[in-house]
């Protein structure tokens, strides 16, 4: 019997083949959990070449790969900023699997027009970054927590922030604000629901070699970014996903209310 056999995990933002959400889904599946994967319903014309080459189908393909390792899977297109859709995510999960035990808040806006001097950032762009990251975490957690309390067997919430949730940077006001908020919400939720044996934690990666980083290429600009890490390289989605899987096991049940750096040494102060 695997560690998470009989548990059901929900992962938002899990449609990209080279992404933290996908890697976390697979890590949890290998630990024995059945998996619900959500995404935004990306336009296939926007898929990176490697996904197009293999006929990747976003969250449906992630679900197929979960099934290939022997676990049940459900794929859904969900807007995490919408109250009814996040409530529907939980109700559909329970209808399909009978329970919900783990929530991975991974949905986020890709690097874009928000990475600019604050006076040049459109207010709607700024708001969108916060809506997906912060409101998404709030709404998904809000819908998930009552179900776990009703089950009475504890649970796990693990959210994805960033080293930008620990350290500010120029031209990143929206991104910093969103990730600092995730760190703060993690602490608040940990105080609120720890008594129900629901662990709440966040991971704070630095640069991870995902599809969303393709815009930088893998040449000199990427190598310069990777070299900024004291360990001398960027992280991999698998490294982050496997660590998040660990945080969902009983071995991590004394880790609570933490925002943990997994960043090759980029942030060592706290």
3-state secondary structure of 255: coil
Which residues belong to the active site?
175
Q: Which residues of 179-203 are buried (b: 16+ CB within 10 A; e: fewer)?
A: bbbbbebbeebbeebeeeebbbbbb
SS (H, E, C) 88-144: HHHHHHHHHHCCCCEEEECCCCCCCCCCCCHHHCCHHHHHHHHHHHHHHHHHHHHHH
Q: CA 121 to CA 174: how far, in whole Å?
A: 9
């Amino acid at each position: 019997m695997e560690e998470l056999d009989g548990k059901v995990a929900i992962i938002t933002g899990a449609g990209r083949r080279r992404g933290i959400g996908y890697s976390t889904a697979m890590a949890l599946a290998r630990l024995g959990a059945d998996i619900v994967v959500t995404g935004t319903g990306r336009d296939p014309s926007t898929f990176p070449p490697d996904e197009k080459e293999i006929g990747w189908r976003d969250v449906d393909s992630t679900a197929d790969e979960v099934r290939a390792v022997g676990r049940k899977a459900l794929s859904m297109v969900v807007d995490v900023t919408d109250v009814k859709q996040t409530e529907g995510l939980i109700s559909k999960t329970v209808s399909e699997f009978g329970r919900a035990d783990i929530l991975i808040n991974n949905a986020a806006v890709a690097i874009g027009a928000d990475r600019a001097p604050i006076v040049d950032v459109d207010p709607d762009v700024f708001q969108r970054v916060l809506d997906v990251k912060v409101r998404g975490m709030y709404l998904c957690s809000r819908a998930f927590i009552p179900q776990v309390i009703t089950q009475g067997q504890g649970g796990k919430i693990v959210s994805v922030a960033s080293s930008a949730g620990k350290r500010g940077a120029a031209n990143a006001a929206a991104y910093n604000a969103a990730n600092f908020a995730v760190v703060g919400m993690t602490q608040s939720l940990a105080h609120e629901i720890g008594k129900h044996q629901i662990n709440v934690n966040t991971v704070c990666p630095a640069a991870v070699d995902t599809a969303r980083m393709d815009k930088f290429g893998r040449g000199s600009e990427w190598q310069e970014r990777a070299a900024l890490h004291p360990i001398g390289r960027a992280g991999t989605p698998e490294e982050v996903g496997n660590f998040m899987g660990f945080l969902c096991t009983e071995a991590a049940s004394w880790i609570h209310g933490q925002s943990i750096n997994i960043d090759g040494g980029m942030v060592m102060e706290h």
